[in-house]
Amino acid sequence: MRILVVQHDSELAAVIAECLRRTGFAVDVAADLADAEVKLGTTVCHGLVADRAQPDGDALRLVAAHRRAGWTRPVMMLTALDSHAERAALIEQGADDYLVKPFSAAELASRMRNLCRLPVTSAQASRLCVGELEWCRSDEAFTRAGVPLSLTVTEAAALRALILAGGALVTWENLARCCAAEQDRPTSHTVDALIGTLRRQLGPPDLIQAVRGIGYRLVEPS
């Protein structure tokens, strides 16, 4: 399941994202409401964690607008206020739960797991599969139809991001981070080249689908 974190504080966003990933979620991060709207429009998200105070407005307005449009996914709001009026506003306008800052990232992840009804099992924690593609997290081994894949660090990082998305879109920006260890400023050509080599490593039939101008996703062959 994929969670969108809307948080303008990059350090706090990184802590939240890492804790959610350790819980079993795939995570996207938006730096403000405008970025969040773009990601919500281009990526399948199963839940939202949003700091109410954003540089470009009140995140609760975004939540309320999406609720009116029929959005039913779990929403966790983060707030600096702890008054009765604040808590009532959060719940009345669409939040399923909230945390008052400062908070524990581990508690946030636990609450999101409960909101999303994410099961926690040893098998899920150790292995993730998309069709015949499998990632064993304990030893960082990848196989396809039981055949081991020999991947570079960058190829493994990209494939890990695609598997964690569970078939949802992984944006070019997220895949570019997989190249950051090798290049200071990865370009779209770098990402395309990485996907090309990864496709060759995986072999036919092709499991990686391009979404033109946006990113890539894993698909099961028909």
List the CATH number of the domain containing 178.
1.10.10.10
pTM confidence score: 0.55
Q: What is the mean pLDDT of residues 99-122?
A: 76
First to last CA, the chain: 23
- Give which of 149, 143, 108 is closest to 25, Cα–Cα: 108
What pLDDT was estimated at residue 185? 58
Together in a domain, 111 and 128:
no
Helix crossing, 33-42 with 59-68: angle to 10°? 30
Count the domains in the chain. Answer: 2
Together in a domain, 137 and 209:
yes
Percent of the chain with pLDDT over 70: 89
Together in a domain, 111 and 10:
yes
* Tokens representing residue 50 in the block: 């949003």
Do residues 54 and 77 touch, judged by C-beta distance below 8 A? no
Together in a domain, 107 and 6:
yes
Range of the domain at 67: 2-115
Together in a domain, 72 and 148:
no
Together in a domain, 95 and 133:
no
Buried b (16+ CB within 10 A) or exposed e, 192-215: eebbeebeebbeeeebbeeeeeeb
Together in a domain, 26 and 103:
yes
Q: How confident is the model at residue 122 (pLDDT cuts 50, 70, 90)?
A: very low
Distance separating alpha carbons of residues 14 and 10, to the nearest angstrom:
6
Together in a domain, 110 and 134:
no
Half-sphere exposure of 122 (CA within 13 A, CB side): 0
Together in a domain, 101 and 42:
yes
Q: Is 66 helix (H, G, I), strand (E, B) or coil?
A: helix
Together in a domain, 107 and 10:
yes
Do residues 118 and 100 touch, judged by C-beta distance below 8 A? no
Together in a domain, 162 and 100:
no
Q: What is the mean pLDDT of residues 119-131?
A: 58
